[in-house]
């Protein structure tokens, strides 16, 4: 069994939104980035995976098994959400004691190491910690019960660039163990460009694609052209397109082919943000 987490046809209907047959898997030793516009369904996906909300259909398997025991998930899956809050009068040291009693696999020394590494004061009340410090505390707790899978929903959004970089290094260290994996949603796509192996793009409740980051980075490109050339483009090769004031921006899956074929066009590399913007704000060709 190569996948730590497998999600198949996950479906959840709300009054005004449907998470629609979402499928993807997170292989061992890898980081899967979950991207999508606000309201795309990322948190709904994560909540359904963790059984925090009832799913209408689909299966979620951890290590090849549908887990009926939430206790087992609690031990083996470290979870960090944007906005998780501990009681304000606790201190990080007290949080460590409580977590030590709650998790069988708790490693108090590891927790102390993370407090030092993340520059968190052990004896300061949580109400006096900044948002970023609280987030770091959540990450320290999630890592210190020795999970095999980390699920992070916007877990780095409150951190400054220097601390984000440090935390991303911690995530990369975590997946050095090939039995570990991470599923992380983030709007900071440059973070995912740095650490993710795969990207799953959810758009309006559906998976638009699930691809390796390298495929996106090395193969996807944007043709910048005028109306005349746009009319000549092979429409079957266009993934999405958008016209701004002066030019057409056309997303293609094979930029080298486009460079060979349309010699007069500028074909730029595409960042994950570019891809997301063109799919969300542009027209989809197929």
Q: For residue 218, state whether it binds ligand ATP (rule: CB under 6 A).
A: no
| Span of 34-42, 133-141, 214-222, 230-238 interacting with ligand ATP by CB under 6 A | 34-42
Which phi and psi (to 5°) does residue 88 adopt? -65, -25
Q: Please work out the total of residues on this chain that contact ligand ATP, with binding judged by CB under 6 A.
A: 11
Shortest CB 140 distance to ligand ATP, Å: 23
Shortest CB 155 distance to ligand ATP, Å: 12
The smaller minimum CB distance to ligand ATP, of residues 42 and 148, is found at 42
Are the CB atoms for 113 and 80 separated by under 8 Å? Answer: no
Q: For residue 41, state whether it binds ligand ATP (rule: CB under 6 A).
A: yes
Q: For residue 44, state whether it binds ligand ATP (rule: CB under 6 A).
A: yes
The smaller minimum CB distance to ligand ATP, of residues 30 and 186, is found at 186
Q: Please select the residue that binds ligand ATP; options are 14, 102, 105, 124, rule is CB under 6 A.
A: 14
Beta strands in the chain (DSSP E): 3-14, 17-27, 31-35, 57-62, 77-81, 149-153, 181-185, 198-203, 206-212, 221-225, 238-243, 248-252, 266-269, 283-284
**What are the residues whose beta carbons fall under 8 Å from the beta carbon of 136, sequence distance 6 or more?**
118, 120, 159, 163, 167
The smaller minimum CB distance to ligand ATP, of residues 35 and 223, is found at 35
Which phi and psi (to 5°) does residue 191 adopt? -65, -45
Shortest CB 43 distance to ligand ATP, Å: 3
Instruction: Report the side by side order of strands in the sheet with 77-81.
Output: 77-81, 149-153, 181-185, 31-35, 198-203, 206-212
Q: For residue 209, state whether it binds ligand ATP (rule: CB under 6 A).
A: no
Catalog residues that contact ligand ATP under the rule CB under 6 A.
14-15, 17, 36, 38-44
């Amino acid at each position: 069994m190569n996948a730590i987490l497998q999600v198949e046809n996950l479906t959840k209907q709300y009054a005004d939104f449907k998470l629609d047959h979402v499928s993807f898997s997170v292989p061992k030793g890898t980081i899967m980035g979950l991207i999508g516009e606000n309201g795309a369904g990322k948190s709904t996906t994560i909540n359904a995976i963790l059984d925090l909300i009832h799913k209408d259909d689909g299966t979620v398997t951890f290590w090849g098994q549908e887990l009926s025991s939430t206790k087992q998930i609690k031990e083996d899956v470290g979870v960090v959400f944007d906005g998780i809050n501990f009681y304000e009068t606790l201190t990080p040291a007290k949080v460590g004691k409580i977590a030590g009693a709650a998790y069988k696999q708790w490693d108090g020394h590891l927790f102390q190491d993370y407090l030092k590494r993340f520059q968190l004061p052990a004896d300061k009340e949580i109400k006096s910690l900044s948002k970023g410090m609280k987030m770091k505390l959540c990450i320290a707790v999630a890592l210190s019960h020795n999970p095999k899978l980390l699920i992070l929903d916007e877990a780095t959004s409150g951190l400054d660039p220097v601390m984000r970089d440090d935390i991303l290094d911690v995530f990369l260290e975590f997946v050095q163990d090939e039995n570990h994996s991470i599923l992380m949603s983030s709007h900071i796509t440059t973070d995912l460009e740095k650490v993710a192996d795969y990207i799953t793009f959810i758009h309006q409740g559906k998976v638009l694609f699930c691809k390796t980051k390298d495929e996106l980075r090395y193969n996807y490109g944007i043709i910048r052209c005028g109306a005349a050339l746009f009319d000549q483009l092979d429409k079957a090769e266009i993934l999405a397109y958008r016209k701004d004031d002066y030019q057409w921006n056309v997303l293609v899956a094979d930029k080298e082919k486009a460079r060979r074929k349309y010699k007069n066009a500028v074909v730029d590399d595409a960042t994950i943000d570019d891809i997301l913007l063109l799919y969300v704000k542009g027209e989809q060709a197929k």
